[in-house]
Copies of this chain bind each other. A is one copy, B any other.
């Protein structure tokens, strides 16, 4: 277990970052995130740059003040969003031109500009601008993306000598190509970043392809620097990635699934079809939607769809921790009647699950179990 120091608190790794894309975790207030005992949240350069825009952000005194968040903030550089949200974009050696997915207005982001934006936001951990090719890209395209990402990373590193953002992370690209991944990582290591992120995974490849990349990449990553696996993932993905040496995670799964009534719930004991004592994290049980049981780490959990009729009269608590005062039947009722509180409670449940999972992983590491 390691530590990551920021001006807004020291974070114990490995950790998971709730996503506050546009300056708010969907359905939650900053005080809810505090209550969930997360020391960090993730926001996004691309979105905040478009709305409310940097003039507002400057006057607000940064995102911490704007959203009343006292913990750390990591911001993605916007690279991924330019390539996934904007339908019209043009990659140039100096940066990327794109049209806003909101109003079609034209914008130009450079390695320098995204850092300046992140400085205004007040990010504790900033990411360099990277080129994110689609999952369908050819090896040639990915190779070109790696090259440009490295050039941009260099520029970012130089810019940050003046800007002095506390933590600047490089992003390793290269798809599922070992040579490209290794070249990308080696080039970034030479630039001596404060941390290294693995981008371009969890974009459609299989779990085993993703794990394979981590298998050869992670051992080559600097031991004393945090390692961030971007956009990952399911509880299983996280456990597997931690085993392979990754430290930081973010994913829309807990919050997005919550909005669809899908809850992560701990099971008091192993489901009957899993042998006790088995190394459960290695167990690849098929994911069954709507009641599929999936063991992870040393714990058992289940995903349930709370809108399912069987929960209409299930008066057991939503969970045993932060929502023990509410029954599943109540949450079922809130979803069925379209009460906005439904999504808030479901989100609180799923983030609680993810954040407590990370606590357990840290504790398991400390005890030498993982």
A340's contact among B47, B329, B336, B343, by CB below 8 Å, is which?
B343
A68's contact among B28, B68, B326, B337, by CB below 8 Å, is which?
B326
Copies in the complex: 2
For window 295-351 of A, CB contacts with B under 8 Å fall at 312-313, 315, 325-327, 329-330, 332-334, 336-337, 339-341, 343-345
B28 lies within 8 A of A333 (CB): no
A286 to B341, CA, bound (A): 36
Whether A162 sits at the interface, judged by CB under 8 Å, is no
A330 lies within 8 A of B51 (CB): no
B24 lies within 8 A of A60 (CB): no
B23 lies within 8 A of A333 (CB): yes
B329 lies within 8 A of A56 (CB): yes
Question: Could you tell me the distance in whole angstroms from the C-beta of A50 to the nearest C-beta in chain B?
Answer: 9
Whether A285 sits at the interface, judged by CB under 8 Å, is no
A336 lies within 8 A of B52 (CB): yes
B29 lies within 8 A of A341 (CB): yes
| Chain A positions 128 through 164: 1 when the CB is less than 8 Å from some CB of chain B, otherwise 0 | 0000000000000000000000000000000000000
Known: A313-B59, A341-B29, A343-B340. A24 touches B68 (CB 8 A): no
A344's contact among B47, B52, B59, B344, by CB below 8 Å, is which?
B344
Whether A243 sits at the interface, judged by CB under 8 Å, is no
A66 lies within 8 A of B29 (CB): no
Whether A224 sits at the interface, judged by CB under 8 Å, is no
A344 to B348, CA, bound (A): 15
What B residues does A345 contact at CB under 8 A?
29
What B residues does A66 contact at CB under 8 A?
327, 329-330, 333
A329's contact among B52, B334, B339, by CB below 8 Å, is which?
B52
A333 to B339, CA, bound (A): 23
Whether A167 sits at the interface, judged by CB under 8 Å, is no
A27 lies within 8 A of B327 (CB): no
A51's contact among B327, B337, B341, B343, by CB below 8 Å, is which?
B337
For window 257-283 of A, CB contacts with B under 8 Å fall at none
Whether A26 sits at the interface, judged by CB under 8 Å, is yes
B28 lies within 8 A of A341 (CB): yes
A56 lies within 8 A of B313 (CB): yes
What B residues does A332 contact at CB under 8 A?
52
What B residues does A52 contact at CB under 8 A?
312, 329, 332-333, 336
Looking across the interface, which residue of chain B has its beta carbon closest to that of A25? Answer: B341
What B residues does A339 contact at CB under 8 A?
22-24, 26
Looking across the interface, which residue of chain B has its beta carbon closest to that of A342? Answer: B24
Looking across the interface, which residue of chain B has its beta carbon closest to that of A32? Answer: B341
A253 to B337, CA, bound (A): 20
What B residues does A340 contact at CB under 8 A?
26-27, 340, 343-344
Looking across the interface, which residue of chain B has its beta carbon closest to that of A22? Answer: B337
What B residues does A28 contact at CB under 8 A?
341
Using a CB–CB cutoff of 8 Å, the interface residues on chain A facing chain B are 22-24, 26-29, 47, 51-52, 55-56, 59-60, 66-68, 312-313, 315, 325-327, 329-330, 332-334, 336-337, 339-341, 343-345
22 A-B pairs in the complex with CB atoms less than 8 angstroms apart: A22-B333, A22-B339, A23-B330, A24-B334, A27-B340, A27-B341, A29-B341, A47-B337, A51-B336, A52-B312, A52-B333, A55-B313, A56-B313, A59-B313, A59-B315, A59-B329, A60-B329, A66-B330, A67-B326, A67-B330, A340-B340, A340-B343
